């Protein structure tokens, strides 16, 4: 978490008021969601924030809060280890971290409504509809695994919500 004095102050207030650590999220999430947003705790290298379960937001979070160049996928990009709690995966390019985290750790899956098969990426589901005749008009639903927290961004004013115990940090 960043340590601007206002965030720390509100964090302490919320903790006091609710008797537990607030859910800390990136302020950017608010501009993309009008009401419900699904979150899970980020378990990257001791991070204490929550992240929205969408590739764009995972990538932004890793760029902003963990200093990872999430567009580095070129041949020359140095591979790095995943620092997610308990991850034993091989090294990967920084540009592939957000995808990896979304599927391996946040458990976001695209499920074919026709045959029931789960896919870890939307493009893999698209490929499936092109390759399997009986699924060519299939729709999908996205599943999010266990431990999802839903909050209502419409009830967050001034960067925090006492009722939901949520704090947004800039
Ligand atoms: Zn994090
Ligand atoms: Zn990992
Ligand atoms: Zn299918």
121-170 pLDDT, tens digit per residue, is: 899 999 999 999 999 999 999 999 999 999 999 888 888 999 999 999 98
Distance 2 CA to ligand 1 centre (A): 11
Taking the CA of 89 as reference, the closest ligand is: 2
Sorting pLDDT into bands at 50, 70 and 90, what band is 75? confident
Structural domain count of the chain: 1
Distance 130 CA to ligand 3 centre (A): 10
User: Rounded mean pLDDT of 86-97?
Assistant: 90
Distance 84 CA to ligand 1 centre (A): 9
Distance 116 CA to ligand 3 centre (A): 6
Does a structural domain hold residue 66?
yes
The overall pTM is greater than 0.85: yes
Distance 138 CA to ligand 3 centre (A): 6
Distance 40 CA to ligand 1 centre (A): 10
Distance 112 CA to ligand 3 centre (A): 5
Does a structural domain hold residue 98?
yes
Distance CA 17, CA 122 (A): 41
CA angle, 147 then 105 then 89, to 5°: 155
Taking the CA of 39 as reference, the closest ligand is: 1
Contact residues for 30 (Cβ-Cβ < 8 A; gap 6+): 153, 156, 168
What token pair was written down for 37?
């947003």
Residues 130, 137 contacting (CB under 8 angstroms):
no
Does a structural domain hold residue 23?
yes
Contact residues for 108 (Cβ-Cβ < 8 A; gap 6+): 53, 102, 120, 142, 143, 144, 145
Distance 38 CA to ligand 3 centre (A): 25
Does a structural domain hold residue 117?
no
Does a structural domain hold residue 30?
yes
Does a structural domain hold residue 20?
yes
Residue-number span of the structural domain to which 43 is assigned: 5-108+144-169
Does a structural domain hold residue 134?
no
Does a structural domain hold residue 121?
no
Distance 64 CA to ligand 1 centre (A): 9
User: Rounded mean pLDDT of 54-58?
Assistant: 94
């Amino acid at each position: 978490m960043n340590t601007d004095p206002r965030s720390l102050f509100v964090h302490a207030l919320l903790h006091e008021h609710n008797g537990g650590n607030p859910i800390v999220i990136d302020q950017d999430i608010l501009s993309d969601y009008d009401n419900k947003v699904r979150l899970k705790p980020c378990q990257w290298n001791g991070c204490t924030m929550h992240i929205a379960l969408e590739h764009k937001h995972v990538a932004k979070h890793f760029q902003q809060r963990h200093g990872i160049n999430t567009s580095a996928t070129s041949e020359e990009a140095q591979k790095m280890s995943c620092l997610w709690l308990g991850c034993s995966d091989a090294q990967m390019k920084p540009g592939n971290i957000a995808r990896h985290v979304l599927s391996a750790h946040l458990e976001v899956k695209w499920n074919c409504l026709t045959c029931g098969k789960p896919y870890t990426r939307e493009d893999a589901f698209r490929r499936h509809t092109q390759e399997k005749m009986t699924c060519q008009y299939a729709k999908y639903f996205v599943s999010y695994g266990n431990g999802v927290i839903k909050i209502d961004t419409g009830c967050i004013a001034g960067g925090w919500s006492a009722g939901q115990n949520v704090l947004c940090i800039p």
